[in-house]
């Protein structure tokens, strides 16, 4: 018998709302400047950075989409979320880029690399990214909670309540409130991700019960039959490794730690926690698929699977905890996005074009107000979209196209603004043209297809190289200054005699990807293992974690 939303569940949700909002407001006492609001003055420890990376990178649409996809396609659908699994070790190599840039937003980094106009173009994309991302996560949370409460609260009502709550504490507390709330909410998300499994396995008769009613290919870790083979996984990985470099909240994720290593640990291992809990979401999808067949019921929308399991399997109080955890997943991400949106508008538009002489206090308040207004546009997008998985992949895809200029611009010094602009135009144009020819209609969000994505990315990178080589180079002084920052320790306590920060190579912390074009020169071969010790040792350890997690998933499927 399906559970109704009990008064105890309501009490749990109310306590969560009051507690997290009050905590966020209490933290506002730490905000003394715009830097404190936007970056928390770069004082977060590695544990806060892990919680922030996991909490901000994990939204309701993630487990809604993953559980729904596994419910419909089987366990192999985990690769829609695990697309970044094989490239997570690269986060260890990429994270220092953002701290060494000495900037508040990725838009400023793009401006340093390609000039003011490209910085403005990126900032427009970044604001749209946050609007789309907030819409997707709000829609995902609405779907879960509407079903979990048995229709007691509608999807739109959920969106409004969540929005009001995270706006209140983010408006005043900025990145400090967002980061600390993220850590608390990350713990709740971990609980959420595994809470349904014990009672679900009992309900369906364990793995043997699931195997009796589900197709055998539902228990495969890879499945070319479902379109999730090696090529699809490779394209999803390419999407992830290039796209993440351009995601506009990367400065807050990687550069707000007290040290470079705090940023590396936070981004890399916070992401690994997400890869772990994704196993729980995929397994929940199989459980719900078996439950539906055994009970003779149907779900009109696969993405209702998580909410259905929450309503049916949990006792009073625990359903409320589940709803609170869903809210936590969304509010942690939305809060971070709101602060970053305000930072982008303030630093890259207001300060740059409207009021260059703005005081620090003025920028602080402009950041607050602009973050709220732009967040409300995300609510509008939430009302537009229907399929959360496709919205999620769409957001990742547009990031990958913009990532061509960030990823390519740091790996290749010769890249210039003309090549960067052309590559973005060509990648987007070809992607939409191919999808239009395939679908026969023009849409904002198309179903993600690996081959069409792959052609668009290839065309974008080729355009970056060809146009850059055929056009004028960037100013040599500007380029040298940009890459000089990448060669110096951003968290050094003492400066050198020349007034600059110490060279990272002297401390085993040169960046291996930044120097990729010089690997085979004699100067780079000398002391290679010493010079890049922090990079290669951390990369190998993270690669080991990839193998362990894949093995754990395979082991579970053998039960």
Query: What whole-number percentage of the chain has pLDDT above 90?
Result: 38
Q: What pLDDT sits at residue 548? A: 96
Among 52-56, 186-190, 276-280, where is mean pLDDT lowest?
A: 186-190
Please give the angle made by the CA atoms of 113, 249 and 125, to the nearest 5 degrees.
65
472 secondary structure, DSSP code? P
Mean pLDDT of the chain, nearest integer: 84
- In sign, the C-alpha dihedral spanning 120, 126, 132, 135 is negative
For 82, the token pair is 């695990």
Q: Which residue has the tokens 């942690």?
A: 332
Q: For residues 396 and 278, give the distance between their C-alpha atoms in angstroms, rounded to a whole number.
A: 17
- Which residues, in sequence order, are CB contacts of 203 under 8 Å at separation 6+? 287, 291, 312, 313
Task: Please compute the mean of the pLDDT values over residues 375-395 and round it to a whole number.
Answer: 71
Q: How sure is the predictor about 283, in pLDDT bands with cuts at 50, 70 and 90?
A: very high
Residue 118 · residue 405 · CB < 8 Å = yes
- Which residues, in sequence order, are CB contacts of 335 under 8 Å at separation 6+? 24, 166, 169, 170, 177, 178, 181, 182
Q: How sure is the predictor about 17, in pLDDT bands with cuts at 50, 70 and 90?
A: confident
Residue 61 has pLDDT above 70, yes or no: no
Q: What pLDDT sits at residue 332? A: 66
Residue 352 has pLDDT above 50, yes or no: yes
pTM: 0.82
The whole-angstrom distance between residue 524's C-alpha and the CA centroid of its chain comes to 33
CA distances to 154, 335, 346, 517, 536 from 133, rounded to whole Å, are: 20, 12, 20, 34, 33
- Higher pLDDT pick, 420 / 442: 420
For 512, the token pair is 């291996």
Residue 416 · residue 439 · CB < 8 Å = no
Residue 547: is it exposed, middle or buried by C-beta count within 10 angstroms (0-12/13-18/19+)? exposed
Among 32-36, 64-68, 134-138, 292-296, where is mean pLDDT lowest?
A: 32-36
Residue 358 · residue 367 · CB < 8 Å = no
Question: Per residue, what are the HEC states of 414-447?
Answer: CCCHHHHHHHHHHHHHHHHHHHHHHHCCCCCCCC
For 176, the token pair is 């400090």
The per-residue pLDDT for range 471-528, each reduced to its tens digit, is 999 999 999 999 999 999 998 878 887 778 999 998 999 999 998 877 777 766 778 8
- In sign, the C-alpha dihedral spanning 194, 180, 241, 551 is negative
Q: What pLDDT sits at residue 438? A: 93
Q: Report the length, in residues, of the chain.
A: 559
Q: How sure is the predictor about 1, in pLDDT bands with cuts at 50, 70 and 90?
A: very low
Residue 90 has pLDDT above 90, yes or no: yes
Q: Which has the closest alpha carbon to 323: 194, 203, 188?
A: 188
Q: Which CATH number fits domain 7-403: 3.40.50.1100, 2.60.40.10, 2.70.70.10, 1.20.1730.10?
A: 1.20.1730.10
The whole-angstrom distance between residue 442's C-alpha and the CA centroid of its chain comes to 27
Q: What pLDDT sits at residue 255? A: 86
Q: How many Cα atoms are found within 13 Å in the side-chain-facing hemisphere of 104?
A: 23
Residue 399 · residue 130 · CB < 8 Å = no
- Which residues, in sequence order, are CB contacts of 439 under 8 Å at separation 6+? 446, 447
Question: What are φ and ψ of residue 257, in 5° steps?
Answer: -75, 160
The per-residue pLDDT for range 458-471, each reduced to its tens digit, is 999 999 999 999 99
Q: What pLDDT sits at residue 406? A: 96
Ranges of each domain in the chain? 7-403
Residue 202 · residue 421 · CB < 8 Å = no
Question: Per residue, what are the HEC states of 140-207?
Answer: HHHHHHHHHCCCCCCHHHHHHHHHHHHHHHHHHHHHHHHHHHHHHHHHHHHHHHHHCHHHHHHHHCHH
Residue 413 has pLDDT above 50, yes or no: yes
Q: Which has the closest alpha carbon to 149: 319, 299, 402?
A: 319
* H or E element at residue 517: none
Q: What pLDDT sits at residue 173? A: 59
Averaging pLDDT over each range in 77-81, 246-250, 307-311, 341-345, which range is the top one? 246-250
Task: Please compute the mean of the pLDDT values over residues 62-80 and round it to a whole number.
Answer: 87
Q: How sure is the predictor about 234, in pLDDT bands with cuts at 50, 70 and 90?
A: confident
Q: What pLDDT sits at residue 477? A: 94
């Amino acid at each position: 018998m399906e559970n109704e939303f009990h008064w105890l569940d309501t009490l749990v949700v109310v306590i969560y709302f009051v507690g997290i909002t009050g905590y966020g407001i209490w933290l506002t006492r730490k905000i003394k400047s715009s830097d404190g609001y936007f970056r928390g003055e770069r004082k977060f420890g590695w544990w806060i950075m892990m919680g922030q990376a996991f909490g901000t990178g994990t939204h309701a649409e993630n487990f809604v989409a993953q559980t729904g996809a596994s419910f419909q396609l089987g366990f192999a659908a985990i690769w829609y979320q695990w697309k970044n699994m094989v490239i997570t070790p690269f986060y260890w190599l990429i994270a220092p880029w953002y701290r060494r840039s000495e900037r508040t937003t990725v838009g400023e980094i793009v401006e340093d690399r390609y000039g003011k106009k490209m910085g403005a173009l990126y900032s427009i994309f970044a604001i749209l990214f946050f609007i789309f991302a907030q819409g997707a996560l709000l829609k995902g949370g609405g779907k879960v909670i509407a079903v979990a409460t048995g229709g007691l609260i509608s999807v739109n009502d959920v969106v409004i309540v969540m929005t009001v709550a995270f706006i209140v504490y983010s408006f005043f507390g900025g990145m400090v409130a967002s980061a600390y709330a993220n850590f608390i909410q990350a713990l709740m998300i971990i609980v959420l991700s595994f809470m349904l499994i014990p009672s679900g396995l009992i309900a369906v008769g364990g793995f043997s019960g699931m195997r009796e009613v589900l197709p055998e290919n539902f228990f495969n870790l890879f499945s070319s039959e479902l379109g999730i083979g090696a090529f699809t996984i490779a394209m999803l990985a390419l999407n992830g490794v290039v796209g993440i470099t351009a995601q506009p909240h990367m400065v807050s994720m990687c550069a707000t730690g007290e040290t470079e290593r705090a940023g590396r640990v936070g981004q890399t291992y916070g992401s690994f926690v997400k890869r772990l809990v994704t196993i729980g979401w995929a397994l929940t999808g199989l459980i719900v698929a078996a439950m539906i067949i055994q009970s003779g019921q149907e779900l009109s929308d696969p993405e209702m699977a998580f909410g259905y399991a929450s309503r049916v399997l949990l006792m009073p109080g625990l359903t409320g905890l589940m709803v609170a955890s869903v809210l936590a997943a969304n509010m942690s991400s939305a809060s971070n996005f709101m602060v970053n949106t305000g930072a982008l508008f303030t630093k890259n538009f207001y300060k740059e074009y409207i009021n260059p002489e703005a005081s620090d206090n003025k920028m602080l308040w402009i950041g607050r107000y602009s973050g709220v207004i732009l967040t409300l546009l995300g609510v509008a997008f939430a009302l537009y979209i229907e399929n959360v998985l496709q919205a999620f992949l769409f957001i990742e895809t547009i990031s990958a196209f913009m990532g061509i200029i960030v990823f390519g611009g740091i790996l290749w010094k010769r890249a210039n603004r003309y090549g960067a602009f052309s590559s973005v135009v060509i990648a987007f144009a070809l992607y939409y043209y191919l999808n239009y020819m395939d679908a026969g209609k023009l849409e904002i969000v198309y179903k993600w297809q690996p081959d069409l994505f792959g052609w668009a990315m290839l065309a974008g990178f080729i355009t970056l190289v060809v146009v850059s080589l055929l056009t004028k180079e960037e100013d040599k002084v500007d380029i040298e200054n940009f890459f000089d920052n990448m060669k110096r320790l951003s968290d050094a306590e003492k400066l050198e005699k020349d007034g600059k920060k110490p060279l990272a190579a002297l401390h085993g912390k040169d960046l291996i990807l930044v120097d990729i074009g010089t690997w085979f020169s004699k100067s780079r071969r000398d002391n290679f293992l010493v010079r890049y010790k922090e990079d290669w040792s951390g990369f190998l350890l993270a690669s080991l974690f990839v193998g362990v997690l894949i093995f754990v998933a395979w082991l579970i499927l053998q039960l």
